Chain A
Amino acid sequence: MDALRLLTPEITITIFAFAIISLDIAWNDENKSRRILPWLAFAGGLATLLMIFYIWPHVDQYNYTAATDAGREVPMLAVDRMSLFFKMIAVLTVILVGLSAGEYVEKHTPFRGEFYGLMLLAGLSIMLLVSSTNLIMIYLALEFLSITSYILTGFLRRDARSIEAALKYFLYGALASGVMLYGFSLLYGATGSVDLATIAGSLETTQAGLVVAAVILMLAGFGFKIALVPFHQWSPDAYEGAPTPITAFLSVGPKAAGLAVLIRVMVVALPAFDVNWTPILSLVAIFTMSVGNLVALWQTNMKRMLAYSSIAQAGYMLVGLAAWSAAPPSAVAYLGGVDAIMLFLLAYMFTNLGVFAIAIILENQMGTSEIADYAGLIRRSPYLSVALLIFFLSLVGIPPTSGFIGKLFVFGAAVNQGLYVLALFGVFNSVISVAYYFGVLRNVFFEKGSDESPIRVGVAMNTVVTITVVMTLLIALYGQPFIQLAADSAQILAANF
Chain B
Amino acid sequence: MLEQIIFFALAAVAVLSALGVVFNKNVVHSALFLLLNFSTIAFLYFMLNAQFLGVAQILVYAGAIVVLFLFVVMLVGADVGEPLGNWLSGQNIFLMVLGLILLTVVGTAVFENTVLGAGGEMTPEVVAQFGQTEVIAAALFTQYTLPFQLVAVLLSVGVIGVVWLAQHQQRQKFRQVVAVLDAGWDGESQKVHHDKLRVNWLRRPKLFDFDWVEIARATDDDVARFTRQIENDEDRWRGLRYPQMVCVVSPECDLSESTHLKLRQMFGEVRTADVERGAQ
> B177 → chain A, closest Cβ, in Å?
14
Among A204-212, A252-260, A449-457, A467-475, the stretch in contact with B = A204-212
* Nearest-CB residue, chain B, relative to A128: B150
Partner of A210, one of B109, B164, B235: B109
Among B25-33, B53-61, B154-162, B253-261, the stretch in contact with A = B154-162
A76 lies within 8 A of B161 (CB): no
Give a binary string over A134-158; 1 marks a CB under 8 Å from any B CB, 0 the rest.
Answer: 0011001101100110110011011
Interface residues of B in 92-113 (CB under 8 A from A): 102, 105-106, 108-109
B109 lies within 8 A of A140 (CB): no
A144 lies within 8 A of B109 (CB): no
Q: Which residues does chain B contribute within 8 Å of A418, judged by CB atoms?
A: none
Q: Which residues does chain A contribute within 8 Å of B150, judged by CB atoms?
A: 128, 137, 140-141, 144
Partner of B118, one of A114, A141, A192, A212: A192
B157 lies within 8 A of A147 (CB): yes
Q: Is B173 an interface residue (CB 8 A)?
A: yes
A144 lies within 8 A of B118 (CB): no
- Chain B facing A: main interface SS: helix
Q: How large is the interface on B (under 10, 10 to 19, 20 to 34, 35 or more residues)?
A: 20 to 34
Given the known interface contacts A128-B150, A137-B147, A157-B165, the answer about A192 and B109 at a Cβ–Cβ threshold of 8 Å is no
> B100 → chain A, closest Cβ, in Å?
12
Given the known interface contacts A29-B173, A192-B117, A210-B115, the answer about A76 and B147 at a Cβ–Cβ threshold of 8 Å is yes
Q: Is A265 an interface residue (CB 8 A)?
A: no
A136 lies within 8 A of B144 (CB): yes
- Chain A facing B: main interface SS: helix
Partner of B164, one of A18, A114, A147, A191: A114
> B120 → chain A, closest Cβ, in Å?
7
Given the known interface contacts A157-B165, A160-B234, A209-B108, the answer about A190 and B160 at a Cβ–Cβ threshold of 8 Å is no
* Nearest-CB residue, chain A, relative to B120: A192
A121 lies within 8 A of B157 (CB): yes
Number of interface residues of A (CB under 8 A): 48
Q: Which residues does chain A contribute within 8 Å of B153, judged by CB atoms?
A: 14, 121, 124, 144
Interface residues of B in 69-116 (CB under 8 A from A): 102, 105-106, 108-109, 114-115
A202 lies within 8 A of B109 (CB): no
Q: Which residues does chain B contribute within 8 Å of A148, judged by CB atoms?
A: 157
B146 lies within 8 A of A209 (CB): no
Give Cα A74–Cα B150 distance, bound, in whole angstroms: 14
Q: Is A193 an interface residue (CB 8 A)?
A: yes
Q: Which residues does chain A contribute within 8 Å of B105, judged by CB atoms?
A: 209-210, 212-213
4 additional contacts, CB 8 Å, given A74-B146, A136-B147? A140-B147, A144-B153, A190-B117, A206-B114
Q: Would you list 20 pairs from A and B whose C-beta atoms are within 8 A, ordered by A residue?
A: A29-B172, A29-B173, A110-B171, A114-B164, A117-B160, A118-B160, A137-B150, A140-B147, A140-B151, A147-B161, A158-B235, A188-B117, A191-B118, A193-B118, A208-B114, A209-B109, A210-B109, A210-B114, A213-B105, A213-B106
